Amino acid sequence: MSKAAAKSTAPAKQSKADYEGRSKPSQIRESNIVAAKSVASAIRTSLGPRGMDKMIQEGKGEVTITNDGATILKQMKVIHPAAKMLVELSKAQDIEAGDGTTSVVVLAGSMLEASQKLLSKGIHPTIISESFQRAAARACNILDTLATPVDMTDRQMLMKIASTSLNSKVVSQYSSVLAPIAVNAVLSVCGGPDSVSLNDIRVVKKLGGTVEDTEMIPGLLLDHKTCSSSGGVHRMEKARIGLIQFCISPPKTDMENTVVLNDYTQMDRVLKEERMYILNIVKEIKKAGCNVLFIQKSILRDAVNDLALHFLAKMKILVVKDIERDEVEFICKTLNCRPIASLDHFNPDMLGTAELVEEVQTGSSKITKVTGIQNQGKTMSILVRGSNKLVLDEAERSLHDALCVIRCLVKKKQLIPGGGAPRSSCPSS
């Protein structure tokens, strides 16, 4: 082949490459739409009153039965980036509203399916996106005209609204139990006319009993039992409660060191020093008037050792150890106390007061209940019960949805018709 012929074929190859490059974006869009539609179709059958529950089995053999969209998508092993966006969309809906996690994914899948048809007709993606935004703004205006105001003092109406969100759940037969708990809990922690945080509601799950045994506690529940070693106290009336963040155990250096003891005399001296060190800490705690001690969990060393528990039991101080760091803020807000970071700051002003602290048997395990709290903060504790782990987990998820529904009503006191009425009104308008 001559050089001239080679030159004449080069532009043809280049134009073919350009053509393949121009077609690639449309192929990527098509792939994204197909992946997102597959996620939407996977949970479409769990939507609505006739929706079916999904049984999901993990690799380790654990089984989950639910129709909650966020839970189903969280269990799915999604790889495609576009499909992951729908999973994140469902998570965002769960955080913001608590319900509608399935609806938002199904709606997004339907919009992508409509976009696919418009793209095949040659309409530019930007025009489609802008049209969807204008339609969404118009739909919001229509929904505002359909909305009716809700009286937040009408608890019967609020219970009916909460029951509606529970009717499609696995535990729908217990809606008469869970709905009043959700309404009373949210209204109890309202910080203002439009302010409420679900972080002020603590939900503790305990296996045993039935969902009917679920109850709201006007106090504090801790998923920990009291320390029973060395004859520890299990019940304390007229409690003065301290929450400490320091350890009651022999001190350790920041670096690994080795202590060499040459004879028994030195060993005996070390043990006596440790004993006196711990005893002095316990005496200072008792001196401040504290008779109930909550101890935060430590990752560096033992938060409290057996010798300290022995001294605390001798001085009739009830001890609950291994309090998690993320529990401290809620406990302090409930008890109206402050966490104590060092022994130097341990004084009566840092303590909380309650009528009763006791260990309670729940099924095969125990929890600690604090009631009669003086100057209690705006917090609430809920004990959820269930006959097995599947029912217990689903009861917690259903209760969370009901709590979120009432929270949304507190923020925006409006109600729109259900049963697909808004979706029927928007297209006709």
Catalytic residues: 68, 101-102, 401
3-state secondary structure (DSSP) of residue 72: helix
Q: Would you state the structure tokens that stand for residue 271, as one six-digit string?
A: 């043990």
Is 161 exposed, middle or buried, given 0-12, 13-18 or 19+ CB atoms closer than 10 A? buried
- Residue 103: burial class (beta carbons within 10 Å; 0-12, 13-18, 19+): middle
- Give the Cα separation of 365 and 383 in Å (integer): 13
Tell me if residue 171 falls in helix, strand or coil: coil
Q: What angle do CA 42, 46, 51 make, to 5 degrees?
A: 145
Q: How far apart are CA 384 and CA 42, in angstroms?
A: 30
Rounded to an integer, what distance in angstroms lies between the CA atom of residue 297 and that of residue 60?
Answer: 29
Structure token pair of residue 86: 């729908």
**SS3 label, residue 294:** strand
Which of 77, 79, 87, 74 lies closest to 40, judged by CA? Answer: 87
